[in-house]
Structure 1
C-alpha cells in the first residue's frame, strides 16, 4: 500500500464517550473513507502507527434527516473502524508526527 492511499483511508480518530470506553479494552476508533476495506484499514494502522492489529470491525452510520429553521437538512453519513490492538500496545495521538 502506498503512502498516499494510507492518508486517504484513515481520516482521523473518532472521539466520543463510547470510543473512550472501548479504549480501555485495547481498541481504537477511527473515521475511515467510505470505500476503505478491512485489509486496507489494518495495513494503514500498522504502517502509520507501528503497532500490531489483531482485528478490525467496521460500522456504517447512515446520515439522518433533520428539520432546521430553513427546511429539511441531512447529516453526513459516517464510517467508523474499531481497531483492536495487540496486548500491551497503544496509540498516542499527541505523539504522532
Structure 2
C-alpha cells in the first residue's frame, strides 16, 4: 500500500447531472486516488473542507474504456479511475466548491 497523504487523495470533483441531483441529499462525488481507502477519503474530506463531518463513503472502481489506436487496428485502454460518493451528516456544513454550479 502506497503512503498517500490526505491532500493527494481527492483529485477533482465530478460534475454531472446525476452528481448535482445528489447534492440535495448532501452527497458529493469526487475522483480519488486509485489506491485510496474509504477511511482515507473520509479523513481527506474532513481536513480539506472546514466544518464537514462525513457520515459514509461509497467507492467504485471504474475500468478504462477500450479505444482504437489511430490509423491501425490495434486497441488500447484509457486509464482506470476510482470514484467516491461522500455523504455528509445533517448538521455538517456544505462543501463550498460546488456553490454556484
Question: What is the SS of the residue equivalent to 2:6?
Answer: helix
Instruction: Work out the CA distance in 1 between the residues paired with 2:98 and 2:20.
Output: 15
**Aligned match for 1:87, one of 79, 85, 90:** 90
Instruction: Work out the CA distance in 2 between the residues paired with 1:73 and 1:14.
Output: 24
- 1:22 corresponds to: 22
- 1:38 corresponds to: 38
- 1:61 corresponds to: 62
Unmatched segments (≥5 aa) in structure 1:
none
Question: What is the SS of the residue equivalent to 1:24?
Answer: helix
- 1:74 corresponds to: 77
Unmatched segments (≥5 aa) in structure 2:
none
Shift of 1:73: 3.2
TM-score by length of 1: 0.83
Query: What is the RMSD computed on CA atoms of the aligned residues?
Result: 1.9
TM-score by length of 2: 0.80
Instruction: Work out the CA distance in 2 between the residues paired with 1:27 and 1:70.
Output: 43
